[in-house]
Structure 1
């Protein structure tokens, strides 16, 4: 049976300021106070699983256990069909440099791999997002969201983040990076996962 969220405070298990603000805006409308992993000086746990669900569970349960608060974590990434689902859970790793993450480099790497593989177009791909809400007693609720589309080259658009300038959702002629935040959120993997979570766990 699905457990409903009835507490007043929710910990978002992330050190990503943008992601934190996105969740804070939603939860504030529900009268829920949001705190973050950074505010509790929590370290980022090592993500040792090979699935989005596995890594989201690691982050959510580590934060809930450390603070005694319900904790929400996500794990997300891009799966490219012609690359056997890569980069998948290693999406952020493909962008990692000694000085931080460089998603322009990651997009160029992805394009180069598609060319090297002589993959025929269209290059089908999907964004995946898994959300795990964990309680200190070990219970959790899991929801997923997906956005199907194709990869384009050269990349297009100035907004968005990550692989957004390379990803064109099915049924649309703009990439995520060419859309307003409102339009993108209505289609995005994270937007769909959040909607599923709100309906399953937070709906009255």
Structure 2
């Protein structure tokens, strides 16, 4: 028996009642956000928008046909943007800035000189206002999502879940997961909030069907 088995066996003994049966651990409260009914997709999307706006992200909802125009508006202050493989080309076709492909991989200095990055995501968690990227098509590797000043992320409504336990079955723990909750920010000892320390200073989220 290794140390892990020893610890788990002690926990099992400690949680068993006098009859020798184990105490049931309630888990129903973990399945969804308390303010969103199971299966309420619109409620989950509305909660995600609320959380992201609380964090200072720019959020726009659009239909599929309006997505290219929404991407163009989100990039209007940028002169250059990096796009990963798998991102639909027509999303950025109407934007007149410089598009850079991350193939071959751009260096950190090159990425730091780019104004923006445009990606999709793997899943979005409404309760915490978190976007999760796993390096799949349209998401690319982690570095391009951390160094440019602006991150434009496209989220499909069917990727939105209300709480974290709903997100976990959709994710592969073997993939490089990046968890993003609003624009990058931190506070010093005097509680002065500073944006852009550990990642993009601006986050624009476009939610589409």
Q: Give the TM-score taking structure 2 as reference length.
A: 0.22
Is the radius of gyration larger for structure 1 or structure 2?
A: 2
Which structure dedicates a bigger proportion of its chain to helix? 1
